[in-house]
Structure 1
């Protein structure tokens, strides 16, 4: 019971900090190039990943991968997704971005068919269709014309979905710590090759925000790792949708964003479809495991 309670606490801490991190990212990206912000953020992430890997059984030698190409691809995908995501916070707002990002599990379910060879039954297909109907509500233009700016968060959701599917693929042979290590190191190297070309003098007070951004990046991942140590993924993943709520509150209260009724309705539909998809995947996995044991 105590471990479950601690798991929920760690999950809520991680989600809350992720939302705060999004707000800080929006503040910084409104004044500085996204690639610069992502590069500095990744430096802290890399140090954390190396520190975690060095403390694991076997140390850094234990993070050797059997899928180096896929691990590098994962790292590059996440790095690109972070740049797109923090750009989206400024272009379309925190709330709209997170609402569209919440369609990720639906995209993952679709991509798992050709990449992972998984089968998706009619229930999940129905949830996917309903979920994407919710996405259309979120994207519903007030002017009657489609706003091409929404392609940015849609692209971010697709990039992250490919990252998740590749993570599942490499998990067949590599440990979670190996994947975490490559995520941090590959992303930091990639950003360090590009970011310096976008270097801009950062105001002293914004260095404070940059430092907080790095601290939130490290602490949120640490709390999430601790949560996964104590709770099953099927419990944690639906709770991560609270980040949409927290980010929307920050967007409205601090940045003056406005939420339309169709956007809220669409977000509710997408979240419900996503939670069902996550639950259904877990139920099928348990059924397969039970069949294999018998």
Structure 2
């Protein structure tokens, strides 16, 4: 039986900060693998394959060492959730190959908004004026980041927008899974199924990686495993409304990595669009924090 963690907001904030750093690092590694820096540029399918393979190996090793109590998984939900995660990551990694990390990351922050929209028909949730207002503000920020003028429009930004839509759908499935299973079981099964899906997709685009590319894919998978673990443990130690604002630290790390590794400095459009998206998301988090929620049986994922 899964037992709840002790409430510790300070530790939760620290864990989320670590998760943000590793999540931004995964997009940086994906961007690097899509360039000819260490070998032939990799297709997003192959990058996502590396992410799932090495994340699964990390969790499998942890399972062998820690021997946590595992539950019988709800396979249809897991497959649906993993298909969404695979598709969303593929689009996200494809987008960062062509646009700055900060832009792609900011647009990806729309996934809670789309998650809210999908929760209406799928979970039967009611959405009031505050939630719709927050969603509208965030979408305005995304429109700015898309730069919808003939001279500045970034088609690759639509890939990041597509990723946000799909990952928003995935959030609704995760919410259903956390009512049934403990977080470690969800992560292990998710990555196991992800390896299977990614293995089929990668057959059509496979190129043999160089030793450096193998090392980067391994680092990508391990970084994602660390990020997921930190995120799950943070959510287990504090309310979601407290944790949510800290997740926007990912944008800071993404912008920092862009400057350090690609000498890309965020321009005024990026700063404005990202600020508006974050403002909408923070409004949503603040409103959620004022609502009374029943205590969940399991920690959110």
Contact 1:85/1:153 (<8 A) preserved: yes
Question: What TM-score does the superposition give when structure 2 sets the normalisation length?
Answer: 0.85
Match of 2:130 in 1: 123
Correspondence 1:145-294 to 2 at 5 A: 146-286=153-293
Distance in 1, Cα, partners of 2:214 & 2:180: 40
| Partner Cα distance (2:51, 2:135) in 1 | 33
Q: Give the deviation of 1:101 after TM superposition.
A: 0.6
CA distance in 1, matches of 2:208, 2:61: 29
The answer for the alignment partner of 1:111 in structure 2 is 118
Q: CA deviation at 1:72?
A: 0.6
CA shift for structure 1 position 137: 1.4
Structure-1 separation of matches of 2:265 and 2:209: 29
Is 1:45 aligned with 2:83? Answer: no
Select the structure that is richer in helix: 1
Distance 1:282 1:53, change over 3 A: farther
Distance 1:146 1:7, change over 3 A: closer
Q: Give the direction of change, closer, same or farther, for the CA distance of 1:209–1:181 in structure 2 (3 Å limit).
A: closer
Q: In the TM superposition, what is the alpha-carbon distance from 1:3 to its structure 2 partner?
A: 4.6
* CA deviations over 1:214-249 (Å, ceiling 9, x no partner): 332222223223323333322222111110111012
Cα 1:180–1:210, aligned 2, differ >3 Å: closer, same or farther? closer
Contact 1:63 1:181 in 2 (8 A): no
Cα separation, partners in 2 of 1:214 and 1:149, compared to 1, 3 Å: closer
**1:254 partner SS:** helix
8 Å contact kept, 1:78–1:163: yes
Q: Find out whether 1:133 has 2:140 as its counterpart.
A: yes
Mapped partners of 1:208, 1:181: distance in 2 = 22
**Where does structure 2 lack aligned partners over 5 or more consecutive residues?**
1-5, 36-40, 296-301
Alpha carbons 2:102, 2:270 under 8 Å: kept? no
Task: State the superposition RMSD in angstroms.
Answer: 2.4
TM-score normalized by the length of structure 1:
0.87
Provide runs of 4+ in structure 1 moved above 6 Å. Answer: none
What SS does structure 2 have at the residue aligned with 1:148?
Answer: coil
Q: Does 2:11 correspond to 1:6?
A: yes
Q: For this pair of structures, how many residues does the alignment match?
A: 284
Matched, 1:79 2:86: yes
Aligned position for 2:38: none
Distance 1:145 1:249, change over 3 A: closer
